[in-house]
Amino acid sequence: MENMEEFKPFGARLIVKVDETKQEERGGIIIPDSSEKKALCGEVVVLGHGKLDSNNDIIPYEAKVGERIVFQEYSGEQFKYKRSTYLVLEEDEILGILEAVNG
């Protein structure tokens, strides 16, 4: 993975490396990913400074660097960096964290 330390998002934003999506073939017909609205996955690579509460204390992130998260399509702002696709999200745009399951 590329070094994203060069870019630090403001506030309660975070950077996610978006999973590459594939086109699916059904009955010999290629169905592009854009034909269905869906939740997307990615890995958190950089956290911003965080959101401030009413006492100007930083509220800790629920998501951590290295965790895989789920977010809605069309969330955040997408950008490309060294051949990879990233997304700048606000923490409240995260739908959930994918927890590793053993076994």
Strands (DSSP E) found in the chain: 13-18, 24-26, 29-31, 39-47, 51-52, 58-59, 68-72, 77-81, 84-90, 94-98
- How many residues does the structure list for the chain? 103
What digits encode the pLDDT tens for the residues 27-69?
656 555 555 556 689 999 999 988 888 998 998 888 999 999 9
| Greatest C-alpha distance within the chain | 59
Inform me whether the pLDDT recorded for 1 exceeds 50. no
Q: Which domains does the chain have, with CATH numbers?
A: 13-98 (2.30.33.40)
Which tens digits make up the pLDDT trace of 88-103? 999 889 999 988 665 5
Which pTM was predicted? 0.73
User: 35 by DSSP, 3-state: which?
Assistant: helix
pLDDT at 78 over 50: yes
Q: What is the pLDDT of residue 22?
A: 53
